[in-house]
Structure 1
Amino acid sequence: MPVSPYTVMMSADDVDREVNAMPPSLRCIAMLLLLFGAGLPAWPLAAQPADPAAALIREQLQPTLDAPTAGLGKARAQFYALGGFAPAWTRATDVDSLLVALRGMSADGLDPADYALDELLRQRAALADSRATAMQRARFDLLATDACLTALAHLYRGKVDPASLDTHWNFDARQPAPGQGVQSVRDALAQGQLAELFARARPQNPLYDELRAALARWRGVAAQGGWASIPVGPTLKPGMRDARVPALRQRLRVAGYLPPAVDAAAGAGSPEDYDAATEQALRQFQSVQYLTVDGQLGPATLAALNVPVAARIDQLRVNLERARWLLHQLHGDFMMVDIAGYRVAYYRDGKPVWRSRVQVGKPYRSTPAFKSQVTYLTLNPTWTVPPTILKNDVLPKVRRNRGYLAANHIRVLDGQGRERSPASVDWANPRGIVLRQDAGPHNSLGRLVIRFPNDYAVYLHDTPHQELFANPQRATSSGCIRVERPRELAELLLDDPVRWNRAAIDSAIDTGKTQNVTLARPVTLLLAYWTVDLREDGRIGFRPDIYQRDAPVLAALDRPRVSP
């Protein structure tokens, strides 16, 4: 007797319940259809899952699906709704692929425990028992989906919400196209391509791959025992003999700065002789680590050498998380200030075409990390002293030396912009005044300012303090970014070889006239904070964490995730 596909999925008791639940007008028609073998019509009924585990999954997720909020819980409900709430992890090959992918999260500096790896293994083993219940299967399936979606989300945009750590943060979070996220997971399962999906979730940028490779290398060093601390002692200079030289040599060799053959070469003299090869290796280390390159083992170099390998691994993990926040921003034309690296770069089509050194804010006046758009330049700017600098820096100098204002070409203005005599001001308690420095080479902003909207009065600008660019560590400003070669950058930003080539920029500055020049099109500016330097020679530089921003990120990374 022919029956509808819907009837086949139902037991006799189910059929009775469905018929009895119908309105009287439909109940008679349904009974006639069953009598003549046509089966229950599917159109007036809500389809019921054939698998008891599916019903349990639906019961668990329906409230979340109906809720207006978004998030991973909502994504999980949508994932199952696309498949009629049927279990998704029924093939052993898919489960195997998921477990491999979750173990692999460690290579990204993430903790597989955040994705319930051990619990998944335990539940999977329990499902091998023929007496496993529908509830057990539903629980495993939901746990596997939660682990998969969470891991993919963490690879795609990071585990930690950067805005929760930094009130200045305004970068766009990476988001998949609407509906694309959960559908891509279902497609990957259907095609047996879960590993490929995890690979695509990572930032598609060579820098990310280099960071992962560096993490693997340093974990390899840790597995071999890392390195021992070099004892404290007087500054070690080339040509000296010191009992610490063998330890120094070993430390440099482990980090890849000194080949093993150097030990044999050193055998011609005493192993404690600080020879030329070891000096050269130490100079390379100092250069990579943003230290003064003098070949001497002084306090700063010793401190950098004695940072434990575990701390360097954590530093790489922190910067991998920052990469997940930011690398998707690096496309098209843009500028990026690398705050802890004291550099600025201009990119076209995502590739750097210009770089320069910069000076950034002192630790107690740190340069914030944020995103903006460069909109115009000011040639021969005046400088209005900001309130904080006025209170903390300028007023104490004026009180000590009344000639300070004249010596620095600073005028006193009232609230309406009218000039006042400095002698008319009560400098013990000045009120209603503004200090403004005249344009010129002496100006604190130099001869050129690159301006962009922000709430912090931060800009990129020229500086009369050119000598400070020679320092390896350049946290010397009051928060703004001092650029070493700003006119080259201005020419790139204006992008007008006829009206604003380098000669035209120089000529306009030489007039001494203050002038604003609007860009033909705004250029995106990213102020970012990286404490790892991926160098062109393949070495990894670890920068000083000048603003102590690594520790909060690391703490958030290591905080166990609470499953929904």
Structure 2
Amino acid sequence: MFATEIRYTRCQRTAWCLGIWLALAGPAMAQSDAPGAPQGDQALEEQLAEASSRLRNLYAVRGDRPIWRDAEIVDALVESLKTLDADGLSPSDYRPDELRAASRAALREGADDDVRARFELQASRTLLAALTHLQRGKVDPQRINDDWDLTIEPPSLDLAAISRELDEGDVPAAIDLARPPYEPYEQLREGLAHYREIERQGGWPALMNVEDPLRPGDTGTEVAALRERLAAIGNDQLWAADEGYYPAIELQAPEPEVYDEALVEAVRRFQRHHLLADDGVVGPRTLKALNMSVDQRIDQIRANMERARWLLHGLPESFVLVDIAGYDLRYFRPNGDTWRARIVVGQPYRRTPSLRSEITHLTINPTWTVPPTIMREDVLPKVRRDLGYLATKNLSVLSPSGKELDPESIDWSNPGGVMLRQKAGPSNPLGQLVVRFPNDHMVYLHDTPSRGLFSRSQRALSSGCIRVEDVLELAQLLFDDTGTSFDVRRLIADGKTRNVLLEHHVPVVLHYWTVQPEPDGELSFRPDIYDRDDALIEALDRPVTL
């Protein structure tokens, strides 16, 4: 109370008490408003008037006070920019050494005000570019992926918090505020550091392309090379000890050239983490994955860190995530549980797109109208060879208005706008249920009569839509979680084709990951089924204009 009383009496009459008031108000207030604190200058204000809105917004939260007015904070910026390789970005994009050189001229005693102001904005422009790339990604996905239909929200940088960290001289903390605050992203960062350490240690040996697969019980130098390859990524129990170092001690170490049980289990683990059949046999597919170099794996991790920056923002607590390259669907439920299922996705020439939408309704006992691409490329050639194909597949011929037509009356060399539709039933390609969400690609989640396909390790087998194992269970969870009072199995049992609207829409995201952190701490590397990694890595390595 005494301090407050001073503030409102004596401080109204004396400049001396104004200093006490500032001290009592705290260091932040004193720093920004005290006599002698750095203030905006005319040259900076004039150049800010012509600067980008992002720069003006940063300085607006600071009252146009400059940031980069001593060598120490510039050095902190330079060193922080150089650490962005830990996020898979290229520090050279931000030209840290050029920035340091420019600071010498701008910060020297007697430097021209315009030179200082130009450097001030150059440094801030560089920082904002790095923060934006770190939060939302450097590459525009639409420029390299025709199937991309995901909105990337504008950066949501907390400029006030960033400004406070800069006033404290803590540039690394300011940069950390832009980093995606999600565990998968941090796991990818840790994985990148791990594989770069492997690279520093010399990588791993390439295995010989042996004519016959390596099998449990085999012996030879190829087995020793396989052991060394798997030990390099963290299977420490596979290292064979050198008895020459400890001649008097009986060592419990594996025979390096013997394909023993420990090596079998390490191969199976590797296969599971690369979406391969985990049979413990090193056949052609496993050999190809083993012979990917450490440099290639590092680039693959970098590409997926960029994909994470595209996606990991604005996500609701509850949503359906379709992992295309991982053949995996996860439903993050409102109660915190996660439901998971295997899926079948589009073949490489009929790719499942990346998109974000909302599940609006379910179709029970669906009919199937043959999509234009499948009609043109798959069905019409078969119909032209044998008109009986229509009856075999229970396909009806319909006019554009929906009127059923006689197949014999159609010129199948030029059928015009006719449609082919398959009635609901056990052989219908959509199975018993479809989960629908608006999108321009006409894809959806659905059941399938071909359930044996889910047992395959690699499942890029559909025409673009996503087949979901146990989709009836997913449908019931969607009903329950949205307050939609229906029993899925009863609806199916009555045989009627109907649409059921969800009481509340459920967000759905279809995304493409070729690297995924696993619960055991290792990274799972998936085949790049749509050949998207190379274009992304090339774009990541392309210099930018700041």
TM range (shorter): 0.7 to 0.9
Match status 1:233 vs 2:210? yes
Matched, 1:541 2:524: yes
- Matched to 1:532, the amino acid is V
List alignment gaps of at least 5 residues for structure 2: 1-36, 243-250
1:327 counterpart residue number: 312
Give the match for residue 525 of structure 1. 508
- Of 108, 114, 120, 2:87 maps to 108
Q: Which residue of 1 aligns with 2:226?
A: 248
One-letter code aligned to 1:241: T
The corresponding residue for 1:559 is 542
The residue type paired with residue 122 of structure 1 is A
Change (3 A) 1:193 1:348: farther
Check conservation: 2:359, 2:436, Cα contact below 8 A: yes
* C-alpha RMSD over aligned residues: 2.8
Q: Distance in 1 between matches of 2:490 and 2:135?
A: 48
- 1:313 aligns with 298
TM-superposed CA distance for 1:60, in Å, is 3.3
Which of 298, 323, 337 is 2:322 aligned to? 337
CA distance in 2, matches of 1:120, 1:261: 46
Query: Which of 204, 207, 230 pairs up with 2:184?
Result: 207
Seen in structure 2, the aligned counterparts of structure 1 residues 379 and 143 have a Cα distance that, compared at 3 Å, is same
Larger radius of gyration: 1
> Do the aligned residues in 1 keep the contact of 2:483 with 2:503 (CA within 8 Å)?
no
Give the counterpart letter for 1:518 in structure 2: L
Identity %: 46
Q: Which residue of 2 aligns with 1:286?
A: 271
Amino acid in the other structure paired with 1:562: T
Instruction: Tell me if structure 2 keeps the 8 A contact 1:262–1:277.
Output: no
For each residue in 1:114-166, what CA deviation from the matched residue of structure 2 results, as whole angstroms up to 9, or x when unmatched? Answer: 22211122233456754644454334322221121111111121111223333
SS of match in other structure, 2:177 = helix
Aligned to 1:220: 197
Structure 1: tracts of 5 or more residues without a match: 1-49, 65-72
Query: Counterparts of 1:260-271 in structure 2 under 5 Å?
Result: 260-261=238-239, 271=256
- Aligned counterparts of 1:423 and 1:297: Cα–Cα separation in 2: 54
| Aligned pair partner of 1:433 in 415, 418, 424 | 418
* 1:65-144 equivalent positions in 2, closer than 5 A: 73-80=52-59, 83=62, 85-126=64-105, 129-130=108-109, 132-144=111-123
The Cα offsets for residues 45-64 of structure 1, whole Å up to 9 and x where unpaired, read as xxxxx999944434433233
Distance in 1 (CA, whole Å) between partners of 2:489 and 2:240 is: 52
Q: Which moved more, 1:486-495 or 1:426-435?
A: 426-435
Aligned to 2:172: 195
Q: Name the SS for the 2:53 alignment partner.
A: helix
- State the 1:85 CA deviation: 4.8
Q: Which moved more, 1:402-411 or 1:353-362?
A: 402-411
**CA distance in 2: counterparts of 1:498 and 1:332, whole angstroms:** 17
The residue number in structure 2 matching 1:150 is 129
Q: Per the alignment, do residues 355 and 125 of structure 1 end up closer, same or farther by CA in structure 2, a change over 3 Å counting?
A: same
1:420 aligns with 2:399: no
User: Offset at 1:346?
Assistant: 0.7
Distance 1:508 1:91, change over 3 A: same
* SS class of match (1:365): coil
**What amino acid is aligned across from residue 317 of structure 2 in structure 1?**
G
8 A contact 1:94–1:194 mirrored in 2 = yes
CA distance in 2, matches of 1:313, 1:350: 36
Q: CA deviation at 1:184?
A: 3.6
In the TM superposition, residue 431 of structure 1 has moved relative to its aligned partner by 2.9
Match of 2:148 in 1: 169
Alignment match of 1:160 (pick from 139, 158, 178) = 139
Residue 60 of structure 1 corresponds to 47
**Counterpart of 2:434 in structure 1: which amino acid?**
V
Residue identity matched to 2:502: L
SS in 2 for 1:329: coil
**Which residue number corresponds to residue 482 of structure 1?**
467
Mapped to 2, the partners of 1:85 and 1:404 lie a distance apart of: 75
TM-score (norm 1): 0.83
Aligned to 1:6: none
> Which amino acid is the alignment partner of residue 201 of structure 2?
Q
User: Matched residue of 1:359: which SS?
Assistant: strand
Q: Does 1:303 align with 2:288?
A: yes
Aligned residue identity for 2:368: W
Q: What is the CA–CA distance in structure 2 between the aligned matches of 1:51 and 1:380, rounded to whole Å?
A: 71
Amino acid in the other structure paired with 2:226: L
Instruction: Write the letter of the residue equivalent to 2:185.
Output: Y
Q: Is the 8 A contact 2:356 2:509 kept in 1?
A: yes
The size of the alignment, in residue pairs, is 503
